[in-house]
Amino acid sequence: MNVRDYYNSFKQTDFVDGIIETPLQYGYINSLNLFNTKGTNQTAIVFDKDVSTTTLLPQVARGDKSSTQGKERAVDSFALRTAYFKHADRLTVEDIQGWRKTGTAETETLANATAEKLTDMRRVFDQNEEYMKLQALKGVFKTADGTTMADMFSEFGISQTSVALGLGTSTTDVDAKFREIKSLVAKNVKNGGAIGGVEFIVDPLTFDKLISHPNMKTAYQYYMNSGRQALRDDLSNYMQWGIMDVFEHRGVRIVSYDATFNLPSGSTEKAFADNTGLAFASGVRDLFRGYYAPSNKLSAANTNGQPVYMNTKVDEDDEYVEFTLETAPLFFCTKPASLIALTTN
């Protein structure tokens, strides 16, 4: 669009499209749809853990009136509370009057400025969800300010199992490590049936060490050469969520997750520290749960919560518009013993 030059009214300037910089949005955990989510009409939930055992029967003499006896199930109750977030922004006359739209010579409009505000707030919500679901995937649901809402290892009185892949040693039998991890995951899911699969999410250093290990190079090259189309399809799907490397071996899908989150304190946090990762089961119903409590508005009291509430308030004197985002989630793993921590050495 041609307009008069700011410094010489006899000249014209051409406004071309602006350059928009937006931080990379990570969404791999969200895209997996691991969490069975639902609304709750309270700000805390209570659930029972029902533990049963299956013991094989000893033989008894036919005609003998004695028999083996069934065992009572062990039932424990647990209570967890939801987190709560409230994020607000506003538009005033000063934000619009006399300003032009980025990349154009047109004056700013309330509709355009409102759309930009709501888009930015939605990005914040999506990244917050990604971060919290990642923490729950690790077994400890915490918020970005460092508050632990649900440490499922402590709740169930267990310690997380960790397996060293031994990638710093050239003679390590990596296949044996994979078998060990898959066995640990499957045995600790305890869902009464089979699991859909096992996935590894690791930091980039671990991924690079894995594919360059002497006992893995051939397998990786075979995967790259024989499954080119499948690999391209995987990457085209995953790259939109921040995943750049994928590898499948012995029925395990390994992804390199290089997310970095901006914390409220001003610092940053990696999804996984260097040389670490996580193994977990996929295709298991109700392995991960999520609950959403209602908004803190009077009209929402005792109603089933929604993932996010967006409210717009127009000042009665028409001087500003205020936008408010609320969300009150709780995410956790129902079988934390099946979450296996990975280290390279």
pLDDT digits (tens, 9 = 90+) for 84-135: 999 999 999 999 998 888 777 788 899 999 999 999 999 999 999 999 999 9
The Cα-based distances of 59 to 2, 63, 219 in angstroms read 94, 12, 48
Residue 121 forms part of a structural domain: no
Residue 257 phi/psi, 5-degree rounding, is -110, 110
Long-range own/partner contacts, residues 269-274 (CB < 8 A, 24 or more apart): 269/144, 270/203, 271/26, 271/134, 271/201, 271/203, 272/201, 272/202, 272/203, 272/206, 273/203, 274/203, 274/205
Render pLDDT for 233-292 as a digit per residue (tens, 0 to 9). Answer: 666 666 667 777 888 899 999 999 999 999 999 999 999 999 999 999 998 989 999 999
How far is it, in rounded angstroms, from Cα 114 to Cα 91? 8
If 0-12 CB within 10 Å is exposed, 13-18 middle and 19+ buried, where does residue 315 land? exposed
Residue 259 forms part of a structural domain: yes
Decide: 281 and 338 in contact? Cβ < 8 Å: yes
| Domain total in the chain | 1
Dump the DSSP string for 125-172: HHHHHHHHHHHHHHTEEE-TTS-EEEEHHHHTT----EEE--TTSTT-
Helix, strand, coil % in the chain, rounded to nearest 5: 30, 30, 40
Residue 117 forms part of a structural domain: no
Give the per-residue pLDDT at 13: 64
Residue 184 forms part of a structural domain: yes
Give the per-residue pLDDT at 16: 62
What is the C-alpha end-to-end distance of the chain, expressed in Å? 59
Residue 166 forms part of a structural domain: yes
Give the per-residue pLDDT at 24: 75
Decide: 199 and 255 in contact? Cβ < 8 Å: yes
Residue 80 one-letter amino acid = L
- Of the given ranges (7-11, 145-149, 314-318, 332-336), which has the lowest mean pLDDT? 7-11
Q: Which of 133, 247, 253 is nearest to 197 (CA)?
A: 253
Residue 77 forms part of a structural domain: no
Question: Where residue 56 falls among pLDDT bands split at 50, 70, 90?
Answer: confident
How far is it, in rounded angstroms, from Cα 338 to Cα 341? 10
Looking at the predicted structure, is the pLDDT value of residue 190 above 60? yes
Residue 195 forms part of a structural domain: yes
Residue 29 forms part of a structural domain: no
For residue 284, what is the domain's CATH number? 3.30.1930.10
Render pLDDT for 25-41 as a digit per residue (tens, 0 to 9). Answer: 899 999 999 999 999 99
Given the DSSP bridges, would you call strands 252-257 and 243-249 parallel, antiparallel or unpaired?
A: antiparallel
Domain span at residue 220 reads 156-288+334-343
What is this structure's pTM? Answer: 0.87
